[in-house]
Amino acid sequence: MSAILRIEELVKRYRGVTALDGVSLEVQRGAITGLIGPNGSGKSTLFDCISGFQRQDAGRVWLHAAEAGVELTGRRPVGIVRAGVRRTFQQLRVFPALSVRDNLLASAQAAAGYSALAETLRFPGVRRHERAMLERAAQVLDEAGLAPSGDKPAVTLSYGQKKLLELGMALMTDPKVLLLDEPVAGVNPGLIEELKQQLVRMARRGVTLFIVEHNLKLVFDISDWIFVLDRGRLLTAGTPAAVSGDERVMEAYLG
Amino acid sequence: MSRRTALICAGSVVALGWPLLANSPYVLHLAVMAGLYVILVQSLNLVLGYSGLLSFASPAFFGLGAYVSSLLALRLGWDSAIGFPLAILAGIAAGVLIGFPSLRVSRHSFVIVTLSATLLLQLVALNWEDLTRGSLGLANIPAPRLFGVSVGTRLEWYAVSALAAAAAVLVTWAVVSSRFGRAMVAVRDNEQLALACGIDVFRTRLFAFALSAGMAAFAGALYAHFISYIDPGVFGFSITETLLIMVILGRSGTLWGPIAAAVVFTALPEVLRLTPEIRSLMYGLILLAIVLFGRKRLFP
């Protein structure tokens, strides 16, 4: 195993409140890595910094997808997505006015890197990429069980279906690392099982998953390795068995 | 053919054919103006409807196009085949110039910047008297010459206006039905998610805004040559007001709704001339009724 994502001494302050206080960690290639911790421990801030939605005050982020690592520090979200790191949000987000299929296509089109003009004038390369993505979208729709709703506006989907769509959108471009911010929040138990299967399938296919989740049962079930954050610092890390036996983790959660 | 397509075809035939049958200078004049409004609503719809940005810069680009094309014709005697494209380019350039700083900040600041841009250009037109003759305005703007052929009669103007409007519809359709159009809607619907999908939110908005500016400038250029007189009043906000009514009531973010609204709301005030005393009142009541009861808006 080797690290695919390396975070060094990340510091983020919001007007004097230190959200991240020198966090260093490594996410292993192809593994499912969990990130847990009480509310306000800095989990979402860490994701925001990795994905470029927030700029950290200090520290660096490296992606080791190929032989040579790429530094993600200071890149804008667009550049980080192109490098192969994608994220989802704590609050469910889809494009409500677009059809379910168009949600998937919109999620994949930027990866090809065509200009607005090329896309408007439908250059041959754009058409080719669009056709390839249409095939991919059909496959993703099938796997998520959303095929019958492909042409419906995304706003008409149920909450659970939107969660599945959100995962599908993230998968469209075959990301190297996927940051999932509470993938099962607000989902009923039946669907949690389905989403869990999806996550395990994704990991088997080689997508490295880094998951923030409050559903500890799920995290302990599927993770290969777990990091615990508390008040902006790394409290501990280890296998699910080791972390679940750690008294400090319980203490942090119970305050 | 769906009911919708049939409705669009029928509507287009009536809108295009009626002025020819009526064959009155007055109706033709209105038809030319309706064509210009069709171009203008596309311009605002790209920004407001498809990109979700409230812009008050329509008069800025409209006026800029009017002045650029008029000055080129008056001062240099240039053919409109060059003047119109240059007016469009000036609009696009101004769109990029205004959009570049304002689209990086919040959407609220964008509203203010577009408002200021219009006021600023109006001040320039008022005070740069050597060039624009200030509040005296530019008179005797010649009929456009396109490749040596002069567009003089109202009927010829009607043809030019209809063709220009059709071209604007075609361009808008090409944009909104393309992959780029999907990116525009994605950015409008959820900016954060669009970013997470790798869509360059800023560039998407800038492209839409610049294109919209070019269209408004084109309408302005046509207007100047059609009316043959312009003054700094072309930068007035009444254009924005009318356009907002047309785009919103026609249902912003759809292609044909605002087009239909442009035609209807150009003709409506004139039709109401039958009752000159209560014309404005009628117009206001009709607007109010549409806003209150017209949930499906003007177009299904």
pLDDT number for residue A105: 94
Q: Does residue B102 form part of some domain?
A: yes
Residue B269 belongs to some domain of the structure: no
Roughly what angle, to the nearest 10 degrees, separates helices A159-171 and A100-109? 30
By CB atoms closer than 10 A (0-12, 13-18, 19+), residue B78 is middle
Q: Is residue B254 situated within a structural domain? A: no
CB-nearest to B196 from A81, A105, A108 is: A81
Would B286 be classed as within a structural domain?
no
pLDDT above 90: residue B93: yes
pLDDT score of B130 more than 90: no
- As a whole number, mean pLDDT of residues A60-74 equals 82
Domain for residue B265, yes or no?
no
CA dist A109 and B63 (Å) reads 37
pLDDT of A109 above 50: yes
Looking at residue A123, its pLDDT comes to 92
CB spacing of A98 vs B197 below 8 angstroms:
no
Separation of first and last alpha carbons in chain B: 16
pTM (two decimals): 0.88
Find all residues with CB under 8 Å of B296, minimum gap 6, and list them. none
Interface predicted TM-score of the whole assembly (ipTM), two decimals: 0.91
How many other C-beta atoms are found inside a 10 Å radius of the C-beta of residue B94?
A: 23
Look at residue A190 in the predicted model and tell me its pLDDT.
Answer: 86
In a domain, B262, yes or no: no
User: Which of B93-102, B139-148, B175-184 shows the lowest mean pLDDT across its residues?
Assistant: B139-148
Residues of B with Cβ-Cβ distance to A130 under 8 angstroms: 179
Best of A109, A133, A134, A167 to substitute, by most chain B Cβ atoms within 10 angstroms, is A109
Indicate the pLDDT class of residue B299, thresholds 50, 70 and 90: very low
Inter-chain touch B180–A82, beta carbons under 8 Å: no
Q: What is the pLDDT of residue B128?
A: 87
Residue B193 and residue A81: Cβ atoms within 8 Å? no
Ordered structural domains, chain A, with CATH: 3-94+174-254 (3.40.50.300), 95-156 (no CATH)
Number of A–B residue contacts, CB under 8 Å? 91
Least confident of A107-111, A246-250, B32-36: A246-250
B104 lies within 8 A of chain A by CB: no
Nearest CB partner across the interface for B186, out of A89, A98, A114:
A98
Residue A242 has pLDDT above 90, yes or no: no
Please check whether residue B180 touches A, CB under 8 A: yes
Residue B295 has pLDDT above 70, yes or no: no
Confidence class for position B297, pLDDT limits 50, 70, 90: very low
Query: What is the model's pLDDT at position B298?
Result: 45
Average pLDDT over residues A119-141: 92
Residues of B within 8 A of A120 (CB-CB) are: 174-175, 178-181
CA of B131 vs chain A CAs: smallest distance (Å) = 35
Beta-carbon count within 10 A of B106 CB:
10
Q: What is the pLDDT of residues B153-170, one digit of tens each?
A: 888 888 889 999 999 999
- Do the domain assignments include residue B260? no
> pLDDT value at position A67?
67
Has residue A255 got a pLDDT over 70? no
Q: Which chain B residue's Cα is nearest to A83?
A: B198
Count of domains for chain B:
1
- Quick one: pLDDT at residue A53? 93
- The residue with tokens 């075809």 is B9
Using one digit for the tens of pLDDT, what is the confidence trace for A137-155? Answer: 999 999 888 989 989 999 9
Q: Which residue has better confidence, A255 or B104?
A: B104
Q: What is the dihedral of CA A87, A91, A92, A96, to 10 degrees?
A: -110
Residues of chain B contacting A122 with CB distance shorter than 8 Å: 178-179
Instruction: Tell me the C-alpha distance between A164 and B59, whole Å.
Output: 45
CB contact under 8 A, A120 and B253: no
Query: What is the pLDDT averaged over residues A39-56?
Result: 91
Q: Per mean pLDDT, which range of A120-129, A203-212, B140-149 is the poorest?
A: B140-149
> For residue B204, is pLDDT > 90?
yes
Average pLDDT over chain B, rounded to an integer = 86
Query: How confident is the model over A78-82, as a mean pLDDT?
Result: 91
Q: Is residue B207 less than 8 Å (CB to CB) from chain A?
A: yes
Who has greater pLDDT, A115 or A101? A101
Domain region containing B116: 27-236
Both tokens of A56, joined, read 């950290």
Q: What is the pLDDT of residues B236-250, one digit of tens each?
A: 887 888 888 888 888
Region B123-137 average pLDDT: 83
Span A81-90, pLDDT tens digits: 989 999 999 8
Query: What pLDDT does residue A112 have?
Result: 83
CB spacing of A106 vs B199 below 8 angstroms:
yes
Instruction: Produce one character per residue of A44-66: b if its CB has 16 or more CB atoms within 10 Å, e if not.
Output: bbbbbbbbbbbebeebebbbbbe
CB < 8 Å to B52, chain A? none
Residue B288 lies in a domain: no
Which chain A residues have a beta carbon less than 8 Å from that of B199?
Answer: 78, 106, 109-110
Structure confidence at residue B300 as a pLDDT band (50, 70, 90): very low
Residues of A in contact with B186 (CB under 8 A): 95, 98, 106
- Whether the pLDDT of residue B67 is over 50: the answer is yes
Of the candidates B168, B148, B3, the one whose C-alpha atom is nearest the C-alpha of residue B88 is B168
Q: Which residue of chain A comes nearest to B202, CA vs CA? A: A78
